[in-house]
Amino acid sequence: MDSPTTHLISRRDALIVGAATAATAAAVSSSAPAAAAPAASAAGAVPRAKLSITVNGKSHSLDLDTRTTLLDALREHLHLTGTKKGCDHGQCGACTVIADGRRINSCLTLAVMHDGGQVTTIEGLGTPQNMHPLQAAFVKHDGYQCGYCTPGQICSAVGVIDEVKRGVPSHVSADLTARPMLSAEELRERMSGNICRCGAYSNIVEAITEVAGSRA
Ligand code: FES
Ligand code: FES
């Protein structure tokens, strides 16, 4: 059986051999042709892309890490912090914006996928002095408490009203060929991707119903 000393020596020898190997490799790489260095740095480089995007009617040119989500592009690069990051996993709806006419979770899409596209955020819907009808209705009906989910709720509600107008059925539409009714059941189903931890759901439905022009 080996003595502890043998193990120590073996480990020390192994370290010496390893260090010598690393030194040899470094010497070889330093004498290698210069072309090898760019290849190595290119492998570790952050991939970037230039894109143009119109947000709330204003055109922006961005140069981004291609892995940047639309949500991070809006918040971190364009400083439009009205769009909120809740889960960052497509589960809460706080990041909902309208992209090319459709409501989407901006945390689930890459900014580069919207090159040339049009995005509307809560800032583009209205201002405190000139609110969008849904913003005014949310205030009137107390459709929020902390307000964190509210930008996403309102952008989503804009999308819902448009979908109902276009006759897009939902999971609870009884007749897929009939024009959908704007019932409370329909609204709750269509807004189910927007979570409100304050539980303002009933008031949110009232606000959307008022703007959509039908009582739930
Ligand atoms: S932050 Fe995008 S769905 Fe929650
Ligand atoms: S108002 Fe607080 S999470 Fe909805």
> What pLDDT, on the 0 to 100 scale, is given for residue 177?
87
> What pLDDT, on the 0 to 100 scale, is given for residue 43?
67
CB of 24 within 6 A of ligand 1: the answer is no
Q: Which ligand is nearest to the CA of 84?
A: 1
Contact of 206 with 141, CB cutoff 8 Å: yes
> What pLDDT, on the 0 to 100 scale, is given for residue 86?
98
> What pLDDT, on the 0 to 100 scale, is given for residue 214?
53
Among candidate residues 84, 107, 124, the one where a domain is terminated: 124
> What pLDDT, on the 0 to 100 scale, is given for residue 60?
98
> What pLDDT, on the 0 to 100 scale, is given for residue 5?
45
Buried b / exposed e across 72-89, counting CB within 10 Å, b at 16+? bbbbeebebebbbbbeee
CATH number at residue 186: 1.10.150.120
Contact of 150 with 191, CB cutoff 8 Å: no
Residue 26 located in a structural domain: no
Residue 160 located in a structural domain: yes
Residue 24 located in a structural domain: no
- The low-confidence residues of the chain, meaning pLDDT below 70, are 1-43, 214-216
Nearest to 113 by CA among 47, 46, 53, 48: 53
CB of 197 within 6 A of ligand 2: the answer is yes
Report CA(161)–ligand 1 centroid distance (Å): 21
Residue 39 located in a structural domain: no
Quick one: 114 and 194 in the same domain?
no
Quick one: 133 and 211 in the same domain?
yes
Number of domains present in the structure of the chain: 2
CB of 147 within 6 A of ligand 2: the answer is yes
Residue nearest to atom 4 of ligand 2 (CA): 196
CB of 196 within 6 A of ligand 2: the answer is yes
- Give the single-character DSSP code of 105: E
Residue 10 located in a structural domain: no
> What pLDDT, on the 0 to 100 scale, is given for residue 53?
98
Q: Which amino acid is it at 184?
A: A
Quick one: 151 and 174 in the same domain?
yes
CATH number at residue 80: 3.10.20.30
**Which domain does 204 fall in, by range?**
126-216
Q: Render pLDDT for 116-133 as a digit per residue (tens, 0 to 9).
A: 999 999 999 999 999 999
Report CA(104)–ligand 1 centroid distance (Å): 10
> What pLDDT, on the 0 to 100 scale, is given for residue 133?
97
Q: What string of DSSP letters covers 37-104? A: HHHHHHHHSPPEEEEEEEETTEEEEEEEETT-BHHHIIIIIS--TTS--SSSSSSS-TTEEEETTEEE
Among candidate residues 124, 158, 190, the one where a domain is terminated: 124
Quick one: 130 and 204 in the same domain?
yes
Q: Which ligand is nearest to the CA of 149?
A: 2
> What pLDDT, on the 0 to 100 scale, is given for residue 41?
52
> What pLDDT, on the 0 to 100 scale, is given for residue 6?
45
Quick one: 109 and 145 in the same domain?
no
Q: In the sheet where 48-55 sits, what is the strand order? A: 58-65, 48-55, 118-120, 96-99, 102-105
Atom of ligand 2 nearest to the CA of 196: 4
Residue 134 located in a structural domain: yes
Quick one: 116 and 130 in the same domain?
no
Angle between helical axes of 150-165 and 201-212 (0-180°, round to 10): 40
